Structure 1
Amino acid sequence: MTSFFSLKLHLHSTIFIVLTFLAVQGSGINADGLLLLSFKNSILSDPLQALRNWNSTDQTPCSWTGVFCNNTNGGGGEGESRVTALSLPSSQLVGSIPSDLGSIQHLESLDLSNNSLNGSVLESVFNATELRFLDLSNNLMSGVMPETIGRLQSLRFLNLSDNELGGTLPKTLTTIQNLTVVSLKNNYFSGDLPAGFRSLQVLDLSSNLIDGFLPKNFGGDSLTYLNVSYNRLSGKIPSQFAEKIPTNSTIDLSFNNLTGEIPDSDVFNNQEPKSFSGNPHLCGEITGRSCPITSSPSSSPPAIAAFPKTTEFADTPGPSPIGEKPRRNRLKPGTIVAIIIGDTAGIGFFLMVFFIIHKLKNKKRVETTTVTQTTNDTVNDNWSTTSSSSESRGFTGWSCLRNTKEEYDEESETPSEEDQSQANQRQGMHEHDKKGTLLTVDGENQLELETLLKASAYILGATGSSIMYKAVLEDGTCLAVRRIGENSVVRFKDFDTQVRVIAKMVHPNLVKIRGFYWGVDEKLVIYDFVPNGSLANSRYRKVGSSPCHLPWEARLKIAKGVARGLAYLHDKKHVHANLKPSNILLGSDMEPKIGDFGLERLVTCDTSTKVGVSARNFGSKRSTASRDSFQDLTGPSPSPSPSSFGLSPYRAPESLRSLKPNPKWDVYAFGVILLELLTGKVIVVDESGQGNGIMIEDKIKALRMADAPIRGELEGKEEGLLACFTLGYNCASPVPQKRPSMKEAVQILDKIPSSTSFSQHYFGY
């Protein structure tokens, strides 16, 4: 249903066109010029003044910047200049494309790439039946590609990449006889891969949501380049799929769900192995994986949550559900092998094969001690410590032990043994080169060793300094585990101190930390798993794998929650110093939870206040896409240091001059994120208080600047939207003294009314 606001915008545009038409009747400007003036009126910001010489008083638009004309024969045989091309790439234009731009009768080329144009206007653009060249790439275009694209039989070049287009690819796309280049990468197209391309030479559909199977009758007689990587294609590769594709063509099928053996054909044999990477069930000589010999089906054993290097497994007589008393773990003779093979393209993690050998029947048992600490904070933290003996070196398992004697079974230590164990611990941590220690924050939640070992482990991503896992227990409970890299803190005392500082920070808008493991070769951080991923992967921006958009109420809830979480940290005299969308996780009810607080010191072996070196992004299907925009600046956990990678848009400008973080850094990052929630793009605020040359002065302009997918929801909420814009610009001020405190930001946001029922409507429960 068309909203009242949308009607107002259309009415405003229509009135302008009518008034302009009446004004120029005497000047002689043609219809093409009138349509171009309509386009100029739809532009909200033109910081480079590309349209400054577009004047209604001109006799012809042919002298305007970006406009090209040719002489054509009119009805009376006289030649007249008609617009044939409009080219304004990389002009930093902000606004939309009017619905009648495609009415320019002889338009052959339209290039508005690399701007910030939004809206869904493809239907109208496709009315320009003489179009040969169309490039609207790297904008904020939304909607679907209509079947009417089949009208453009003269079209040769089509580039709509890096937008927010969705829906299925129109079948009429394959009927355009002259089409030679098509790039639709980095959108949300879904459905089947079209078949029947004949004249096409370049086809790039990478980083979409295309599913189904590779078609047998794909065609591709003239193809030189085909890229369908980072999609959801499944099934086997049909031998007929590439039978018409020239043997010297480049084909990229990486990062899908393809299975089976790669067909033995010249075109596939000529590809690099990376063209098939990210399909773990593909096999053949090209992949380096031999295809399995067909055998009778058999049941598979339960998956094992395995961690690299020093993980050891203990075997118990049977399953131990959560809540049962811990058992002594005896190791049986034999070997348990667990392999986790990670993605090799850009993520670079190949996890190790590890094993245990039991030599002595009466091997010394695992010594277990329980340490309880009560903090003076509002939360009492129960710390359970598990140390492995020198003979069982490394991470034996996770075991959250309750702080009571009766929880030990009949074979537990005698009081004298327990006293001796605690005395040994008080001697200092110099013996931890032979031991590993598990610290658990929540002593009431039991995590049995054998239960965790039977969990399914999934790699969420990896960087040069850490690996993130998702562990799913048999009862469905999910945990997130970060393995900290080899360059992390090396002293247990430093690790333990930082752990306890982090764990004291308990708030509904902070990620809950369950425990930590410290060992010579392994340092792990255990969290509650947050189900809806990060804000960077959410659908207010084209960075993730989900096709749906966040509604206005969800964005407002996220902004309020992040503000409260930061205000809590600042009230406790702490600074996050690394806030960005990938460090904001979304719970099942879209309640935001700030993550990675305090991890810089653990990851970088830096116990000072200096902000450490960063890891890069992972966990998103677009994380390795070749694009130097939003997602390249947002990866989970520590962001690039200004000295090595340039300043992230979420890092305060003064961080280049100071290595000591302060709360104003977090306020700045919050401001940029808030503006991004409102507009769907990163807004950089200059010294005048304007963002990308734009200053929000009234409600109408605020509505027009709002992200296109949410404009229809903002009727009657203009005051709240304007307040959010004002707060965002103030927080993101380049002058630290002009930024409000997070407590003040919370007070402003709390005054903006929000609905409590949006999550049920949005998620359907």
Structure 2
Amino acid sequence: MDSPDFPPPLLLLSLFLSLALTLSAAYSPTPPPPNDTHTLTLFRLQADTHAALLPNWTGHDACRSSWFGVRCSPSGRVTALVLPSLSLRGPLDPLSPLDQLRLLDLSGNRLNGTISPLTNCTNLKLLYLSGNDLSSNIPAEVSSLRRLLRLDLSDNNIHGPIPGDIGSLIRLLTLRLQNNLLSGEVPDFSASLINLKELNLTNNELFGQIPEPMMKKFGEKSFSGNAGLCGASPLPACSLVGSPPPIETVPSNPSSMPVTNIIRPGQKHPKSGLGPGSIAAIVLANCVALLVVTSFIVAYCYSRDSGGSHSKEGSEGKRRSSSVSERRVYANNAGPVDSDGTDVTDRSKLVFFERKNKFELEDLLRASAEMLGKGSLGTVYKAVLDDGSTVAVKRLKDANPCAREEFERYMDVIGRVKHLNVAKLRAYYYAREEKLLVYDYLPNGSLHSLLHGNRGPGRIPLDWTTRISLVLGAARGLAWIHEEYSDTKIPHGNIKSSNVLLDKNGAACISDFGLSLLLNPAHAIARLGGYRAPEQAETKRLSQMADVYSFGVLLLEVLTGRAPSQFPSPARPRGEEEEQALDLPKWVRSVVKEEWTAEVFDQELLRYKNIEEELVSMLHVGLACVVAQPEKRPTMAEVVKMIEDIRVEQSPLGEDYDESRNSLSPSLATTEDGLTGY
């Protein structure tokens, strides 16, 4: 009987290992879900190095611990991250694992790097990254964000072409790429992005012809500020020579490569004619002739003046000096008035802090102007330039002794400020007898005018929600200043309601930051009109803790509806003036001490229901800021946190926002556009 054939040992071993691997794969547990808390922690370690901007980001679970700005799904995945205007720094790379993210609002920070890491977040619907320092280009992988409704990458340093892959984002409603360094031609998205309602490509370096369907749908305003673009009027007409040259195959030998002149719109055609040597000879001859004529004219004028009466030199010199020091840059609405006596070396150019939206000093001097008012450091004018844009110009009157080097150093401190709740200096001009600061014009006035203007019948009261929004925006701006300059302890020095301006969307901007640097510290206390802390009577110095006191007075002003110099005595009937005035904090304390707390609040606020707890909580914040001892006052970062806690507790952000119609950001202070003021 033959023995059975058994498989060789090696084959048995292979079958065993295969079966083991199969069983292992079949019964292996499912991998754990991504740890979003760990992801956010890594982001915070890079973006908030001092652990001061996100103080409640502690604990082992971001969702259960209700981290600030974080919203989660019932399953514990992060679906929204809303952290605008916090001065966060660093790259976006740590956020790449947040694949369940629907909303990301990091506008108005100082984030850098590229947006490529976010292309992994394929569930994103709302992406707001405006006002950062992002660079590189827009990756083609942006097409993976197929659920995207709104994309805002404006006010960054993004360069390169606009990728045609954006055309695959068929749900897109808003595309904002303005104020970058984008180049190349404008892609035609008209057929693919049929839902696109808003397109802004202004102030880039785009060139070529705008696709006719795009121009027809969005208009010239969506493409302005790109000198190389052409198309229908009012843009320059396009020509064949303005089109990019066709792609052609050239031999590898550089000497045999064809010479191609690429002429973009606005450039002149090359002309044949005189050679370089002939042109140089003609120019040189003209220059010599002009020099000779100029010399004769100067000699004649000098001899005529020297032959005149020398007895008038003293009085004429005084009058000339007076006219220089008293000359006005703008005379009513008739435009600028220049004067004789300006040193040619002082005719410096405007110094801009960004490459975008530049103009010449002559453009500013030609602008029609209107005086808006006089502040503690100078007069502010509204100037309308020839291109229709409007700027605010502050003509400084108290900084004339400041030397150029010192002045420019202070301007650098002010000019590098980048926060949506701090007015941004756009440009400055220095001359010995003239110093100008240029800001974007903000048409919505100040918190002071909204609080105190036109009180009485027919006035539209400033509602509670708007007041707390403006206060929170101002607090965030001041907290950012204190954090940014924590080492040098540079204060604002002039906090008051007239220096809280409103941008076109109604968000608060603190203006006049840094101007106190132009004055002697002792003089600054006397000349600046901000609300003064009690210790300043002795120290004669500005400080960040004095800023906290001033902000507390501002908060009490918002709650009471009374300017710091307008309030009745608590010991007298309402409406009867006190013989000896108290300051606003003392008046509020005295009323609260007498348990007449309801008498403190603005009558316009008492008509709102169910806000009593919010009013009292906000009053406690204001009183904490105005304690007499500077060391017992909270920091501005702590003040921001206290105000945010009141808002989050009483009026949380809605969970079911309308993604297709709501504003660009659900944050309390609108982060839609960059904020600047004066």
TM-score, shorter chain, exceeding 0.5: no
Higher relative contact order (CA 8 A, sep 6+): 2
TM-score (norm 2): 0.42
Greater gyration radius:
2
Comparing both structures, which one devotes a greater share of its residues to helix? 2
